[in-house]
Amino acid sequence: MSHTPESAESAPVSFRSEVTVELVKHSAADSDVLWAARVSTAGEQSLEELRKDPERSKGLINYLMRDRHGSPFEHNSMTFFISAPIFVFREFMRHRVGWSYNEESGRYRQLEPVFYVPGGSRKLVQQGRPGKYEFVEGTPAQHELTTRAMEDSYRQAYAAYQEMLAAGVAREVARAVLPVGLFSSMYATCNARSLMHFLGLRTQHELAKVPSFPQREIEMVGEQMEAHWAELMPLTYGAFNANGRIAP
Catalytically active residues are 202
Collapsing DSSP states into helix, strand and coil, what is residue 47? helix
Give backbone dihedrals phi and psi of 197, rounded to 5 degrees, phi first. -60, -45
| DSSP result, 66-132 | HTT--GGGGS-EEEEEEEEEHHHHHHHTT--TTEEEEE--TTTSPPP-EEE---TTS--EEES-TTT
Q: Judging by beta carbons within 10 Å of its beta carbon (0-12, 13-18, 19+), is residue 3 exposed, middle or buried?
A: exposed
The set of residues, in sequence order, having a beta carbon less than 8 Å from that of 32 and lying 6+ positions away, is 75, 76
Q: Are 216 and 239 in contact (CB under 8 A)?
A: no
State the maximum Cα–Cα separation within the chain, in Å, rounded to a whole number: 71
Residue 68 falls in which region: left (phi positive, over 0), alpha (psi -120 to 50) or beta: left
Residues in the chain, overall count? 248
